């Protein structure tokens, strides 16, 4: 139940459009979610609009609820929540003007609305634009990591037993291993491509177990052609010189096809590629490598971390991040420890994306040059940190979200209701 403002009453959440939103996964209060007002035991306390497809969502929301629902918000009896927690879209004036225009048309003051995002940098430019454009009091901006929550939610029960299983598996790992690292996140995004093509250029591909969806739309409808991706790499601000150096290696990467780690023998590869999951299956490749390289969704723009680094940390694998500035700092804010001393983590504080990539990749090269004996010695030095992280993530992080982070989010939303 809510520890501050919500008491023990049920919170009625009405979705004004299609699309996933965060309320079904929240802990804390008793939340009842419905697609419309029908079926609720009372009028809505929260009207949620999923912004997965903003234009369609707003068009649908204009007609899906009766005027009385919007009047409740204007009267201070309910609140509108724009939910973009599964994504981290940076602020743009056009986006803000669209959302404020929608609220104006529905008769809702922005002060009665909440915008939820993963991007820690969103609030400052948003509020500055509101002041400059004379939009009046801004919406409340809150941060929530949808997929990270869903990842830890899988360990609400059975975490202690799973920790003991993984601890035993870690202790059984050999002192000599097939490869240096593992790299998941198969999507062909820019930072993934810059990393993989750098490996191809430097002859380091075989030093890692690598998951990559490839360029073939037959198996992955989200794939892009190698020519289009090459053009996008060349257009990446600040990376033009590196892109020009790496694009000629795209045919060699294309020739490797799609490689998906963690797929059971006989599974349909196309189905796996088309259905990204946050699941955390046991990977034998972790037992035969020393560390994980996480290529996050972004390395510039929005500041966030997804569930990706936690998959390795909960499996006794030290983690090196190719992501946005101060990603490791966000990981530590959730109670985890990072691996300074095992890795040179100074890259995490670097503001320039190109320089940050170069620093992180230099660490990969340094570690790949070490012998099994050197890597084993370093692993022994940080075994205590790896054990702490796995135990924290499997047994404490689920409750941290359920009892603290989720409750605070709901309190911050419900404070807008009189």
Question: 201 and 280 share a domain?
Answer: yes
In this structure, is residue 126 part of a structural domain?
yes
pLDDT of amino acid 3: 43
In the chain, what is the straight-line distance between the N-terminal and C-terminal CA atoms, in Å? 19
In this structure, is residue 418 part of a structural domain?
no
pLDDT of amino acid 271: 45
CA–CA separation, 309 and 383 (whole Å): 17
In this structure, is residue 412 part of a structural domain?
no
Find the farthest-apart pair of alpha carbons in the chain and give their distance in angstroms, rounded. Answer: 70
Question: 51 and 167 share a domain?
Answer: no
In angstroms, the Cα distances linking 102 to 92, 235, 268 are 16, 33, 43
Question: 256 and 385 share a domain?
Answer: yes
In this structure, is residue 124 part of a structural domain?
yes
Q: 282 — phi, psi (to 5°)?
A: -65, 130
Residue 204, both tokens: 């380091």
pLDDT, tens digit (0-9, with 9 covering 90-100), for 273-301: 434 455 677 789 999 999 999 998 888 88
Specify the 3-state DSSP secondary structure of 106: coil
Question: 253 and 334 share a domain?
Answer: yes
Dump strand ranges (E) for 67-151.
Answer: 79-84, 113-117, 140-143
In this structure, is residue 389 part of a structural domain?
yes
List the chain residues with pLDDT less than 70. Answer: 1-8, 36-41, 218-223, 263-279, 418
In this structure, is residue 413 part of a structural domain?
no
In angstroms, the Cα distances linking 213 to 50, 193, 220, 225, 367 are 28, 11, 7, 12, 25
Residue 370: its H or E element: none
CA atoms lying within 13 Å on the CB side of residue 137: 8
Q: 284 — phi, psi (to 5°)?
A: -60, -25
Residue whose tokens read 């299983």: 165
In this structure, is residue 6 part of a structural domain?
no
CA–CA separation, 247 and 280 (whole Å): 33
Question: 138 and 199 share a domain?
Answer: no
pLDDT of amino acid 275: 43
Helix axes 93-105, 54-64, angle to 10 degrees: 10
CA–CA separation, 227 and 145 (whole Å): 33
pLDDT of amino acid 8: 61
Q: Is the dihedral of CA 180, 182, 188, 192 positive or negative?
A: negative
Which of 244, 214, 219, 193 shows the shortest CA–CA distance to 357? Answer: 193
Domain extent at residue 345: 157-395
Question: 113 and 27 share a domain?
Answer: yes
CATH number where 301 lies: 3.40.50
pLDDT of amino acid 273: 40
Question: 117 and 183 share a domain?
Answer: no
Q: 321 — phi, psi (to 5°)?
A: -105, 130
Beta carbons of 88 and 304 less than 8 angstroms apart: yes
- The pTM of the full predicted model, rounded to 2 decimals, is 0.90
Domain end, chosen from 119, 144, 169, is at 144
CA–CA separation, 183 and 210 (whole Å): 5
Question: 346 and 390 share a domain?
Answer: yes
Question: 138 and 164 share a domain?
Answer: no
CA–CA separation, 409 and 28 (whole Å): 10
Question: 166 and 188 share a domain?
Answer: yes
Residue 98: its H or E element: helix 93-105
pLDDT, tens digit (0-9, with 9 covering 90-100), for 148-172: 999 999 999 999 999 999 999 999 9
Q: Give the strand order in the sheet containing 208-210.
A: 208-210, 181-183, 291-295, 319-322
> Angle at Cα 50 formed by Cα 46 and Cα 54, nearest 5°?
130
Count of domains observed in the chain: 2
Residue 398: its H or E element: helix 397-400
Burial class (CB in 10 A: 0-12, 13-18, 19+), 237: exposed
Dump strand ranges (E) for 35-175.
Answer: 46-50, 79-84, 113-117, 140-143
Question: 201 and 224 share a domain?
Answer: yes
Domain end, chosen from 103, 121, 144, is at 144
pLDDT, tens digit (0-9, with 9 covering 90-100), for 53-86: 888 999 999 999 999 999 999 999 999 999 999 8
Question: 192 and 316 share a domain?
Answer: yes
Which of 347, 353, 354 shows the shortest CA–CA distance to 319? Answer: 347
In this structure, is residue 115 part of a structural domain?
yes
Domain end, chosen from 98, 121, 144, is at 144
């Amino acid at each position: 139940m809510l520890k501050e403002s919500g008491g023990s009453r049920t919170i009625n959440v009405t979705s004004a459009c299609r699309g996933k939103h965060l309320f079904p996964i929240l802990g804390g209060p008793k939340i009842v979610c419905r697609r419309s007002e029908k079926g609720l035991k009372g009028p809505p306390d929260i009207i949620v609009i999923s912004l997965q497809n903003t234009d369609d969502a707003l068009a649908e929301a204009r007609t899906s609820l009766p005027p009385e629902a919007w009047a409740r918000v204007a009267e201070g009896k309910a609140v509108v929540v724009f939910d973009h927690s599964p994504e981290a879209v940076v602020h743009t004036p056009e986006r803000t003007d669209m959302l404020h225009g929608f609220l104006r048309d529905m008769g809702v003051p922005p002060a009665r609305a909440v915008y939820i995002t993963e991007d820690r940098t969103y609030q400052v430019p948003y509020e500055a634009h509101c002041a400059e454009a004379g939009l009046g009091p801004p919406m409340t901006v809150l941060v929530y990591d949808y997929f990270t929550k869903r990842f830890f939610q899988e360990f609400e029960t059975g975490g202690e037993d799973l920790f003991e299983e993984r601890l035993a598996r870690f202790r059984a790992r050999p002192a000599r291993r097939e490869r240096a690292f593992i790299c998941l996140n198969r999507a062909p995004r820019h930072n993934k491509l810059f990393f993989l093509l750098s490996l191809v250029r430097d002859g380091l591909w075989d030093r890692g177990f690598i998951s990559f969806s490839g360029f073939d739309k037959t198996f992955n409808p989200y794939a892009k052609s190698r020519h289009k991706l090459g053009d996008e790499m060349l257009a990446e601000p600040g990376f033009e010189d590196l892109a020009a150096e790496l694009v000629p290696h795209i045919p060699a990467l294309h020739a490797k096809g799609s490689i998906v780690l963690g797929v059971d023998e006989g599974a349909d590869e196309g189905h796996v590629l088309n259905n990204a999951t946050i699941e955390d299956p046991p990977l034998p490749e972790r037992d035969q490598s020393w560390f994980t390289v996480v290529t996050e969704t972004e390395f510039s723009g929005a500041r966030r971390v997804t569930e990706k680094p936690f998959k390795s940390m909960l499996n006794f694998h030290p983690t090196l991040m190719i992501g946005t500035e101060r990603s490791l700092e966000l990981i530590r804010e959730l109670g985890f420890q990072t691996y300074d001393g095992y890795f040179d983590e100074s890259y995490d504080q670097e503001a320039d994306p190109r320089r940050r990539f170069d620093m992180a990749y230099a660490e990969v090269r340094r570690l790949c040059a070490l012998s099994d004996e050197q890597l084993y010695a370093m692993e022994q030095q940080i075994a205590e940190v790896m054990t702490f992280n796995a135990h924290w993530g499997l047994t404490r992080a689920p409750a941290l979200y359920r009892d603290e982070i989720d409750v605070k989010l709901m309190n911050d939303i419900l404070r807008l209701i009189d």
